[in-house]
Amino acid sequence: MKQPPGFIDPLYPDHVCLLQKSIYGLKQSPRKWFETFSNYLLTYGFRHSSADSSLLIFHKNSVSLYILVYVDDILLTGNHEQTIQDLLMGLLTQFRMKNLGRISYFLGMQISSFSNGLHLCQSKYAIEILNRAGMIDCKPISSPASSKFQSTYVSELSAVQSNNFRHLVGALQYLTITRPDIAFTVNKLCQYMHRPLEDHFLMLKRLLRYVKGTISYGLPILPSSLELSAFSDSDWAGDPVDRKSTSGYCTFLGTSLISWQVKKQKTVARSSTEAEYRALATATTNIIWLRRLLEEFQLDLSQPTQLFCDNISAMAIATNPIFHARMKHIEIDFQFIRDCLKNRVLQLAHIHSQDQLADLFTKSLSIPRFVALRNKLTISKSPVSLWGGDKLAKK
């Protein structure tokens, strides 16, 4: 390192400035800060979570505290108010930080408290995206993508439009943190980042029109049973170009949606059964991780997690090794699902295709079907007024 121009004292050319605080932007700054902060917590009695290294856990007698760290944004919660206050006093003495009180805004997410739970949304961030796109006054629409997309314009976008396309799609990726209803469309748009066409730009504009009409939508966190359950689905050969399938899953803790994913499969599936089997394996990996995380929150997970699937053949292959001859070509890493069933980590359950919630993550749907599944996934408007949202919308 060397000082920037103008900082060198001609009388003392060998002297350097004394660094009083960390410099933002250096590659090692976040790592060194996290190391310093976590070392202090470790001496206090915390330990790192084995499922997520950014989560630190404190258990002593009947007291439980949890700290989640993202660079210099920190969440602290627990079941003993006095211990929390004592820890806060120590942190404020040791580090220069602010106690912002009860959570209301974190990493672009607005957390609204109401009578029996919380509501997570990103309305302020959604408005910023619409402003960037110049579509804050656009006409809303009822679904993020057309159920019957037909290619009309095949010409490439200009360099400026392409950069704008990538910028907006990248911003929408972060919006999916609280908006699983747009996850499939955003995933689809991300596949055209390298060479977007006019068709893709029209898809993006339709998605932004949907976001405009659902700005205050998000996920509620409600008190319910702490039973873990999941839904898994796939769309066989859904991509018209390379004929690859799309996997999708969602996971609930009680009635609260806590995890979901949309992912294009890496290889072409020879049958719908194979595509569904790969989707089951992907959902299983997420279930294993969530179970390990929830065990650290001292939840009872003695019962296997229910994984709902609408393909009987895929369930038969997972549970009965006699069908192995039909699946020899599938990579061995997908076969671990059988061990999970044997060890009672999960339990497969059949569900009718009409009730398959993960269907929303695998394909574009008609408006009635999309709205019905969105409601079942508990995606809804915020029940309380969002601070600043109305003012921003009027601008």
| CB-CB neighbours of 358 under 10 Å | 27
> 161-217: per-residue pLDDT in tens?
999 999 999 999 999 999 999 999 999 999 999 889 999 999 999 999 999 999 999
What residues does each domain of the chain span?
1-101, 120-216+380-394, 224-376
Cα of 309 vs its chain's centroid, Å:
22
- Confirm if 356 and 377 have CB atoms less than 8 A apart: no
Residue 386's pLDDT is 46
Q: Where are the alpha helices (DSSP H) in 3-155?
A: 29-44, 81-94, 123-133
Give me the phi and psi of 45, to 5 degrees please. Answer: 125, 0
Domain 224-376 has CATH 3.30.420.10: yes
Residue 13's pLDDT is 79
Alpha-carbon span 204 to 207, nearest angstrom:
5
Residue 390's pLDDT is 37
Query: Please, which residues bridge with residue 106 across strands?
Result: 109
Residue 43's pLDDT is 93
CB neighbour class for 264 (10 Å; exposed up to 12, middle 13-18, buried from 19): middle
* Element spanning 219, H or E: strand 217-221
Structure tokens at 216: 């205050």
- The DSSP result for 105-123, as a single string, is EETTEEEEEETTEEEEE-H
Residue 189 three-state SS:
helix
Residue 333's pLDDT is 60
Q: Which parts of the chain have pLDDT scores under 50?
A: 386-395
pTM of the full structure: 0.86
- Confirm if 353 and 372 have CB atoms less than 8 A apart: no
**What amino acid is encoded at 168 in this protein?**
L
